[in-house]
Amino acid sequence: MSNRFLNQVIVVSGGSTGIGFSIAKALLSEGAKRVYITGRSAKSLDAAAAQLGSNAVAVVSDVSSLADLQKLKREIENRGDHLDAVFANAGIAEKNTLGETTIDDYAKTFDINVKGVFFKVQTLLPLLKDDASIVLTASIVANKGMENLSLYSASKAAVRSFARTWANDLKSRKIRVNTLSPGFTRTPIMENGLKLDDAQIAALTEYAAGAVPLGFVAHPDDIAGAALFLASHDARYVNGVELTVDGGFTQI
């Protein structure tokens, strides 16, 4: 394993499970000095930190809460840390039906997926080093019209847009901002957010075998590798892009 992130300090939101956990694990294996993982569940965060080891710092922080984001900032400041990278990965995926969607449904998705990303980055911006990297987790749905996912899709399209504008906004500091857009990935969101049962997950896996050129649903580790590339020096001339990691699903 390389040491691309040797002695770096990094924040990963949504770091207790799924893609965020895999990103945190990979960063630590590549030499990160400290990785802050955030999420809304203290139980899940504590379990993740126990697996990740002493260089992981778990902070209960809801990205949709400005008070929680300030608490995270203070935690980092109190340790005297400055940030080499931020992975704005926290998000939810829930179905909505056009004609039956409530204002609360709308607010929940956009508060977490859009407001949360915006204010997380803005809050931590003073702690980011010049030449740092920001990686935003969007989704292939930002560029697709999948049924009953209009709120989720629109929220992820907004995230992709942030990468373009922030890459320009932060050019004087040489901070790179890129978007990671995963395809079908086996994470707890399938059960907890999309409310898929075992039969539906099996059907999706079967569908992916034919529809995805590589023939399978990704493991979070498959997505984390691409995320680390975007944050690393290997991608030092990559800025403002959307890296789609979907086995070729949206490319054919």
Helices and strands: H and E segment counts in the chain: 9, 7
| Contact in structure between 237 and 13 (CB atoms under 8 Å) | no
CA 24, CA 64: separation in Å to the nearest integer? 21
Residues 66 and 124 sit within 8 Å (Cβ to Cβ): no
Distance CA 250, CA 56 (A): 35
Listing DSSP states for 115-128 in one string gives IHHHHHHHHHGGGE
Which residue in this structure is represented by tokens 């955030």? Answer: 38
Tokens 């086996």 belong to residue = 186
Residues with catalytic annotation? 152
Q: Give kind and range of the element (H or E) at residue 23.
A: helix 18-29
Could you count the other beta carbons within 10 Å of the beta carbon of residue 1?
7
**Cα–Cα distance measured from residue 100 to residue 103, given in angstroms and rounded to the nearest whole number:** 10
Question: Cα 79 to chain center, whole Å?
Answer: 24
